[in-house]
Structure 1
Amino acid sequence: MSLNRSQQLFVTIVKKHHAKPLVKAAKNAGAEGATILYAKGSGIHEKKSFIGIPIEFEKELILTIAKKQVMDQIVHAIVQTGKLNESGKGIGFTIDLKKVTGIAHLLDDPEEADQVMGEEDEDIMPKEDIPFDLIVTIVKKGSANQVIDSSLEAGAEGGTILNGRGSGIHEKASLLNIPIEPEKEVVLTLIHQKKTKEVLQAIETGVGLNQSGKGIAFVIEVDKVVGINHVIEELIEKTTE
């Protein structure tokens, strides 16, 4: 037997304390489960300081993996529950997965019928072919804001920061012969493909990624996007002018 590899990942980013009802909605719509990660970040519509003091908005990031046949209805349920079509409520995007392991129970089921969204749900996922990319930047702790500032200057809408840890070949720190794992920050930047090169270059220059030990960045193509209607509408208007 072989695994059904027609799987997708839906990433949802919302404000803190908003994730649980979205996970419940996803499960009711056919998802096996979801993982919630805690993050911080800001967009162009969120104030970044108060009386000169920087403000870091707490976020929750939800990872949901499901078959393509049911992903549309899962996305619909999440968008409806979280009101992601309203400005400032959050964003979501799907990524096609090349290979998945650890889900042996999700084998091909010949009796499973394809489940698609009805006509009443068509406004949830825009039909227009607006291609987006996800830029993932991994830097040392304290450098994430520099990544976001550089991306904003190049035309990005904002970014989401995840905390992590790890080490590279240029990082060999230890204390009393005990290895130390340097703290990291992972920045997720959703960007229209026409701006990907410019934003990626701005991040590379702003953070100095071309220098050893400064960090890395890579680009992942995104399938569908929700929660940024104002961006999509602007792009559609420009293409029709």
Structure 2
Amino acid sequence: MREDRLKALVTIVDYSYANTFRDLLKKLNIPISFISHGYGSAKSEIYDILGFGSPKKIVAVSIVKDQASLMMLNEFGKKLNFDKKGTGIAFTIGMNSVSSHMHNLYKNCDMNIESESEADEMEASVDYSLLITIVESGHFDMVMESAKKAGASGGTLVHARGLGSKEAEKFLGITIQPEKDIVLIIAPNDKKTEIMQSITKEAGLTKEGRGICFSLPVSEAIGLIENTKEQK
């Protein structure tokens, strides 16, 4: 049943909204959230279209109940001004399974969502995917140049450190531990394959040690220019 399902709610918002966003997470009583910093890549009108208004970003992943996800997106859109250009985007990704501890935690928690009635105005699903590319630190610009050649509008950089087994390093041909660039790109599904192929070819992911690229389906989204009418 839908009330038993959980989703990952990913939010990328301009850093100027950091305090507002943190207060919103507390108000909504979301049990699990992870927050990091990121940096946008898009420029001029492209920044505006995808909500990447300034370089520094808040990048957050929250675990939410499926039946509350649309209302939360709606609440984020209102409180974080996603109807304004250069603010941010939020989207959900379905989760296939979770631990019993997490399931029980969410089963017994009440998120502060009053009603789902307003969520009916939002688009229930979107034809987008989240493209994730993990490369050695310093290759962000190369990845984005490759992606834009295939039609990507912009992306967000998150710095990270890898940790993996010797077997994974040998199989992927990528050193796991040093610093990494994680590149997040929201792309229409009809451009997804072309963008991923361009990144793989132009950024040299077929060469040993360069990195990996994969995609995840987006369930719902707010802040994308194509959905603006439904979300106002």
TM bracket, shorter-chain basis: 0.7 to 0.9
- Asked if 1:10 corresponds to 2:9, the answer is yes
Unpaired segments of 5 or more residues in structure 1?
A: 49-55, 173-179, 235-241
Matching residue of 2:95: 97
Unpaired segments of 5 or more residues in structure 2?
A: 48-53
Contact 2:127 2:218 in 1 (8 A): yes
What amino acid is the match of 1:63?
A: V
Residue 46 and residue 100 in structure 1: after superposition, are their counterparts in 2 closer, same or farther (change >3 A)?
farther
TM-score (norm 2): 0.79
Residue 171 and residue 126 in structure 1: after superposition, are their counterparts in 2 closer, same or farther (change >3 A)?
closer
Matching residue of 1:177: none
What amino acid is the match of 2:80?
A: G
TM-fit CA distance, 1:93: 0.7
Contact 1:29 1:73 in 2 (8 A): no
TM-fit CA distance, 1:105: 4.2
Alpha-carbon distance between aligned partners in 2 of 1:47 and 1:94, rounded to the nearest angstrom: 22
Q: Which protein has the larger Cα radius of gyration, Structure 1 or Structure 2?
A: 1
- Asked if 1:25 corresponds to 2:21, the answer is no
Q: Which among 49, 59, 62 is matched to residue 61 of structure 1?
A: 59
Alpha-carbon distance between aligned partners in 2 of 1:9 and 1:210, rounded to the nearest angstrom: 30
> What secondary structure, in the 3-state scheme, does the structure 1 residue paired with 2:209 have?
coil
> What secondary structure, in the 3-state scheme, does the structure 2 residue paired with 1:106 have?
helix
TM-fit CA distance, 1:29: 3.0
Contact 1:134 1:220 in 2 (8 A): yes
**Bigger share in helix:** 2
Number of aligned residues: 212
Matching residue of 2:37: 38
Matching residue of 1:136: 132
Q: RMSD of aligned C-alpha atoms?
A: 3.0
Alpha-carbon deviations, 1:14-50, whole Å to 9, x = none?
11242332232233234224221111122243699xx
> What secondary structure, in the 3-state scheme, does the structure 1 residue paired with 2:60 have?
strand
TM-score (norm 1): 0.77
Q: What percent of counterpart residues are identical?
A: 27
